[in-house]
Amino acid sequence: MLKIYKFVFKIKKEEIIFALIAFFYIYLRSLFLEKFVNYYFLIFLLEIYLTICVYSGIKRSVFNEYFTFFEIFKDGFYYLPFILFYYITVGSSVSFIYLIVLSLINSIKIFSIVSFFLFFLILLWTSFPIFFLFLTLYTPFMIISENETTFNGIKCSVRFIRENLDNLVSLFFPFLIIWSFFFLIFQKYDKIIPLKMKVFLFFLISFIEIFTIKLVFLTIKGVKNERDV
């Protein structure tokens, strides 16, 4: 595990540029999102496009492929339909599951042992589709690294995470702690954080995002090269 972290934090100059792109987008988004709320879908598309460009660049960097930034922005347009369809599919599935669970819970009118049993069954049923959606988290990365379509990317993601779940959990656990920390900070103190501190936090988040993406592609590369994740 220490070996793979060594590669994660050994950042290249191209990856610094990707981190700066992420930083400027996050910073500008925080300043102008409320002003352009009516154009949220266009902002959503732009965010996915830039995310794909960064993913593609990090993938090429991790796999030691020569590339130009023109190719990266071209990749953004190429992979956009596949990854956008994945996000729409996941979002629709989560909304559908939420509505079903909400309606089932609301249908429980009487609080009794039977109602608690039904509530437990509802939660148990929910765990299966939620776990499947969890297994698809690698889909955008598989689409880019394997040059796959959406459904083939989902199949690759499910198989990859299922086969490497224990190792992936241990590898990403420190990053989960870090992301949770930043999420709690902005959730509670976003309105009172001074601008200079917010800029500094955005800068840190940008590099942590690059490190996280890099770790994802390193795990894929490790398996492809028949090395331990």
pLDDT digits (tens, 9 = 90+) for 76-95: 999 999 999 999 999 999 99
Q: Which of 149, 154, 114, 118 is nearest to 135 (CA)?
A: 154
Residue 140 maps to a domain:
yes
- Matching residue, tokens 């996280």: 212
- Whether 229 is in a domain gets the answer no
pLDDT in tens, the chain (229 residues): 677 888 898 888 889 999 998 898 888 777 766 666 677 778 888 889 999 999 999 999 999 988 888 999 999 999 999 999 999 999 999 999 988 888 877 777 666 676 777 778 888 888 899 999 999 999 999 999 999 999 999 999 999 999 999 999 999 999 999 988 888 877 676 677 787 788 888 899 999 999 999 999 999 988 555 444 4
Q: Please indicate, yes or no, if residue 160 is contained in any of the structural domains.
A: yes
Q: Identify whether the C-beta of residue 201 lies closer than 8 Å to the C-beta of residue 178.
A: no
Question: Do the domain assignments include residue 57?
Answer: yes
Predicted model pTM: 0.85
CA 101 vs CA 124, 135, 172, 185: distances in Å: 11, 21, 29, 30
Per the domain annotation, does 187 fall within a domain? yes
Q: Is the residue at 94 inside a domain?
A: yes
Count structural domains, the chain: 1
Domain limits for position 9: 2-224
Q: Residue 10 has what DSSP assignment?
A: S
